[in-house]
Amino acid sequence: MAYVIDQSRCINCSWCRRECPTDTIHYFDQEVRKHKIDPQYCIDCDICARVCPMDCISHEPAVVPDAQSLAAGKMRARAWARDRRQLKLGIRAYAESQVLKIARNGS
Ligand code: SF4
Ligand code: SF4
């Protein structure tokens, strides 16, 4: 199963593309500049559908990625999760250093 975009309602805000953990939503690779999901790497996480302000992404049971592509999609998602964790840790370390600096300087 995979997700599909109803392009007639898509406003090209890119929210789905930015949040997709497998980087499988594309924009510029079509004749018409509209967002499209490459079903091969879709892991059915539902993130794109949740962030879409137009509610135009839905689950399509008839579209089924092959096992190899699905495994590749899951590997992409694991790398995405690792990167997000690193980013979060980096932001946290920076915030802590700023708090300590302010506490030391008293302002
Ligand atoms: S369901 Fe998940 S993996 Fe599939 S296109 Fe949406 S965000 Fe990407
Ligand atoms: S989040 Fe929805 S409206 Fe925005 S680009 Fe994706 S499909 Fe289109």
What's the pLDDT tens digit per position in 25-67? 999 766 778 899 999 999 999 999 999 999 999 999 898 889 9
Overall residue count recorded for the chain in this entry: 107
More confident residue, 87 or 31: 87
How far, in Å, is the centroid of ligand 1 from the Cα of 59? 10
What pLDDT score was predicted for residue 107? 56
Domain 2-76 listed as CATH 1.10.10.60: no
Ligand 1 atom showing the smallest separation from residue 19 Cα: 7
pLDDT band with cut points at 50, 70 and 90 for residue 90: very high
Structure tokens at 91: 């932001």
Q: Evaluate: CB of 5 within 6 angstroms of ligand 1.
A: no
Structural domain boundaries of the chain? 2-76
Whether this model's pTM surpasses 0.75: yes
Residue type, position 74, single letter = K
Model confidence over 60-86: pLDDT tens digits? 989 888 999 999 999 999 999 999 999
Q: How far apart are CA 9 and CA 75, in angstroms?
A: 31
